């Protein structure tokens, strides 16, 4: 009898209930990464709640094991400074962690409604579009500072892109009535469409122009 009851309960479970869905809504197994340089570093391991509580934070090498949505959320908490002279900085955006998580979940709902796609796929495509291939490296040559174009490593491409996305979101909400979830959705959709309205796309174009001029 116990075996029969267990078999009946297992049969009643629907296929979608057997999958681990992000926020209980979106399937990460259907998300595809087209940029093969970033494929290894964009973590898409199925999770329900994208929060590892610093389990992979001991070494920068293990960052690729962190789910990409969690890395995006973590970067939203500390967007960082803009420019080498720190002329514009967010410091630490103190607040409840759950607030950021709820804002991202609501933003994903907005993206799903507008784009009619898996919002994680939109996030991944936005990262691919905004990821720079080259940047500038400065070095001292005698008594002057010279600059040259260098190829950006895949992990740094991802780090710079997440920073650009988070700074664009932060700048669009600072001192304005625009809600955080709306700002997140707008920035990701703009980057997804390779639109110049996206701060991350503008930053990629700026870096590549500077690299082209330093060749």
Instruction: Answer yes or no: is pLDDT of 5 > 50.
Output: no
How confident is the model at residue 155, as a pLDDT?
92
Q: Tell me which residue of 59, 65, 49, 29 sits closest to 100, measured CA to CA.
A: 49
Q: Tell me which residue of 73, 51, 95, 28 sits closest to 169, measured CA to CA.
A: 73
pLDDT in tens, 162-211: 999 998 998 888 777 788 899 999 999 999 999 989 999 999 999 888 88
Based on the number of CB atoms within 10 Å of its own CB, is 184 exposed (0-12), middle (13-18) or buried (19 or more)? buried
How confident is the model at residue 11, as a pLDDT?
46
Burial 8-31 (b: 16+ CB within 10 A, else e): eeeeeeeeeeeeeebbeebebeeb
How confident is the model at residue 93, as a pLDDT?
63
Q: Residue 56 falls within a domain, yes or no?
A: yes
How confident is the model at residue 60, as a pLDDT?
65
How confident is the model at residue 10, as a pLDDT?
46
Of the two residues 120 and 14, the one the predictor is more confident about is 120
Q: Residue 6 falls within a domain, yes or no?
A: no
Q: Residue 135 falls within a domain, yes or no?
A: yes
- SS3 of the chain: the string is CHHHHHHHHHHHCCHHHHCCCECCCECHHHCCCCCHHHHCCCECCCCCCCCCCCCCCCCHHHHHHCEHHHHHHHHHHCCCEECCCCCEECCCCCCCHHHHHHHHHHHHHHHHHHHCCCHHHHHHHHHHHHCCCEEEEEEEECCEEEEEEEECCHHHHHHHHHHHHHHHHHHHHCCCCCCHHHHHHHHHHHHHCCCCCCHHHHHHHHHHHHHHHCC
Q: Residue 177 falls within a domain, yes or no?
A: yes
Report the pLDDT averaged over residues 152-169.
91
pTM here? Answer: 0.82
Q: Residue 86 falls within a domain, yes or no?
A: yes
Q: Residue 8 falls within a domain, yes or no?
A: no
Report the pLDDT averaged over residues 9-30.
71
Q: Residue 14 falls within a domain, yes or no?
A: no
Q: Residue 45 falls within a domain, yes or no?
A: yes
**What is the count of structural domains for the chain?**
1
Domain residues for the domain of 137 are 19-213
Q: Tell me the CATH number at 163.
A: 1.10.455.10
Instruction: Answer yes or no: is pLDDT of 4 > 80.
Output: no
pLDDT in tens, 94-122: 567 888 899 999 999 999 999 999 999 99
Q: Assign 150 a pLDDT band (cuts: 50, 70, 90).
A: confident
How confident is the model at residue 91, as a pLDDT?
56
- For tokens 């909400």, what's the residue? 173
pLDDT in tens, 48-93: 888 887 777 666 677 888 899 999 998 888 776 666 555 555 555 6
């Amino acid at each position: 009898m116990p075996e029969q009851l267990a078999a009946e309960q297992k049969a009643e479970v629907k296929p979608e209930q057997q999958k681990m869905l992000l926020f209980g809504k979106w399937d990460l197994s259907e998300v595809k990464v087209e940029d093969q340089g970033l494929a290894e570093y964009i973590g898409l391991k199925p999770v329900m709640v994208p929060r590892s509580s610093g389990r992979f934070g001991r070494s920068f090498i293990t960052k690729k094991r962190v789910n990409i949505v969690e890395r995006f959320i973590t970067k939203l908490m500390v967007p960082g400074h803009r420019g080498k002279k720190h002329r514009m900085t967010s410091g630490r955006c103190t607040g409840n962690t759950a607030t950021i998580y709820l804002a991202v979940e609501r933003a994903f709902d907005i993206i799903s409604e507008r784009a009619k796609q898996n919002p994680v796929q939109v996030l991944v495509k936005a990262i691919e579009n905004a990821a720079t291939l080259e940047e500038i490296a400065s070095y001292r040559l005698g008594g002057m500072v010279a600059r040259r174009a260098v190829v950006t490593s895949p992990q740094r491409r991802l780090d710079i892109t997440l920073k650009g996305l988070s700074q664009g979101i932060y700048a669009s909400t600072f001192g304005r009535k625009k809600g955080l979830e709306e700002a997140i959705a707008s920035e990701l959709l703009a980057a997804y469409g390779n639109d110049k309205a996206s701060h991350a796309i503008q930053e990629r174009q700026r870096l590549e122009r500077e690299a082209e001029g330093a060749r």
